[in-house]
Amino acid sequence: MHPMGVASPFFRAFDLARHGVEMLQPDVAYAHPLDGGQAGLAWRDLDRTADGLGRDGRAWRALLGPLVRRWQELAGLAMSDFRHLTLPPTAMARLGLRVLEQGSALWDARFRDVVAPALLTGVAAHALAPPRALVPAGVGLVLATLGHAVGWPLPRGGSQTITDALARDLERHGGRIVTGHRVQHLAELPPARAIVLNIGPRELLRIAGDRVPARYARWLRAFRYGSGACKVDFALSEPVPWTAAGCTLAGTVHLGGAREEIVAAERAVAAGRHAERPFVLAVQPGVVDPGRAPRGHHTLSVYAHVPHNSSLDCSAAVIAQIERFAPGFGDTVVAHHVITAAQQQVHNPNYIGGNIVTGALTPWRTLMRPVPRWDPYTTPIPGAYLCSAATPPGPGVHGMAGVHVARRVLRDRFGIHGDPLEFVRHSAR
């Protein structure tokens, strides 16, 4: 699911639809089942969601309503470089006070039942960190807001279609993509006025450790990675038999139980222990895109949170957690494929230890990633820039790290002071 993709200033300028990418909207952005057959359902419509949350409907509306009404300001802040903020003070306060509430011991103050808090905590858990903290609270509020403002869509045919659209556009403008070759040293690259590196701190040290000062190298080595994710892809003979029927309408389902249970599981994982009932994030693309599986079959793509660099095959724990809310799920499994947290970085060298958010999402690591300097994108290597999820604004399919780097590259290396997004819009015409 890609809520930040449709909210991102870059992808709005790029215009995915114009490039052949169709974003499909589930009726329910995300769902959160609980024991006993209950489930929180986040519909695109804020009021419909609130109406389904009983006594906490008013609290949900009061928490998210002001953010939904000004969602573009919120998205702009969340996808900024965290250095040049142009939001009015009222907008900063609107979000800041809510982050302080949901990231502290006050997080239950406005809620009276269990469904709404669990629904919000499942979203905060996307930060891959214990959710009662400032950054996970911010992540949860931003993603929950976007669920009501722009939805949590899935691209028809899968996320690869977004990558393919970007690659086609690059080639249309004369670019060339070389695959199957791992760069061993920066010196292998051809001479260029600018080199933009979509890699994390550890990879930069590997290919250019001899080109950076000792102090900068120490900063890179000090970059801390958080918990890991174990990925399981299921081929199913039928849809997941959720006890709570509303879950069948959701593109994304969060499995973790009540708020307190998610907190306990995420704390265990952060401390290096496997949770007996791990938090599981499940995406069911067939809800909107049945063509993702052969006729009469279905797919389910799952991430389970596990300790950093875990080599455990999490499939048994994942199946048990799904069975908890969908009895009989195991009987629908035709086949499954596992990528452990330790194996993640084989597929993507930025995913150190299976940390798919490329760095621990603490307040310091969010604002000062990857190193503590005013400009996080430049490096001590002349003409070399970083633009991965290890730089602001961090993880997510939004393309904004590249936009922030492009602004600096155009200014510093080419003497161009225009807005990169304007060039993207012009190119898309």
The pLDDT tens digits for 248-297 are 999 999 999 999 999 999 999 999 999 999 999 999 999 999 999 999 89
207 and 293 belong to one structural domain? no
Give the total number of structural domains in the chain: 3
Residues 318-352 pLDDT 10s: 999 999 999 999 999 999 999 999 999 999 999 99
Report yes or no on 25 lying in a domain.
Answer: yes
CA–CA gap between residue 257 and residue 261 (Å, rounded): 6
Q: What is the mean pLDDT of residues 187-198?
A: 95
Question: How much of the chain, in percent, has pLDDT values that exceed 70?
Answer: 100
Burial of 376 (0-12, 13-18, 19+ CB in 10 A): buried
Does residue 206 have a pLDDT over 70? yes
Domain shared by 310 and 390, yes or no? no
The answer on 146 and 44 residing in a single domain is: yes
252 and 272 fall within a common domain: yes
Query: CA neighbours within 13 Å on the CB side: how many for 143?
Result: 26
168 within a domain of the structure (yes/no):
no
Is the same domain home to 218 and 249? Answer: no
Token pair in block for residue 55:
């006594």
- Domain annotation covers residue 169: no
Kindly state whether residues 420 and 368 are assigned to the same domain.
Answer: yes
Strand 384-386 relative to strand 195-197, pairing: parallel
Residue 273 included in any domain? yes
Domain residues for 316? 228-347
In a domain, 81, yes or no: yes
Do residues 302 and 211 both lie within one domain?
no
| Residue at a domain's end among 155, 187, 213 | 155
pLDDT value for 259: 97
Instruction: Say what the pLDDT of residue 194 is.
Output: 96
Asked which of 301, 320, 347 is the last residue of a domain, the reply is: 347
Does residue 411 sit in helix, strand or coil? helix
Asked which of 347, 373, 408 is the last residue of a domain, the reply is: 347
Digit-coded pLDDT (tens) for 228-257: 999 999 999 999 999 998 999 999 999 999
Q: Tell me if 163 is assigned to some domain.
A: no
pLDDT tens digits for range 383-416? 999 999 999 999 999 999 999 999 999 999 999 9
The pLDDT of residue 21 is above 90: yes
Residues 45 and 32 in one domain: yes
End-to-end CA distance of the chain: 27
How far apart are alpha carbons 421 and 402 in whole angstroms?
11
Does residue 401 share a domain with residue 337?
Answer: no
Where does the pLDDT of residue 63 fall: very low under 50, low under 70, confident under 90, or very high at 90 and above? very high
Q: Is 294 exposed, middle or buried (0-12, 13-18, 19+ CB in 10 A)?
A: exposed
Q: Are residues 213 and 255 in the same domain?
A: no
pLDDT of residue 300: 98
Same domain (yes/no): 23, 151: yes
| pLDDT of amino acid 428 | 64
The model's pLDDT over 89-144, given as tens digits with 9 standing for 90+, comes to: 888 888 899 999 999 999 999 999 999 999 999 999 999 999 999 999 999 999 99
Backbone φ and ψ of 333, nearest 5°:
-75, 115
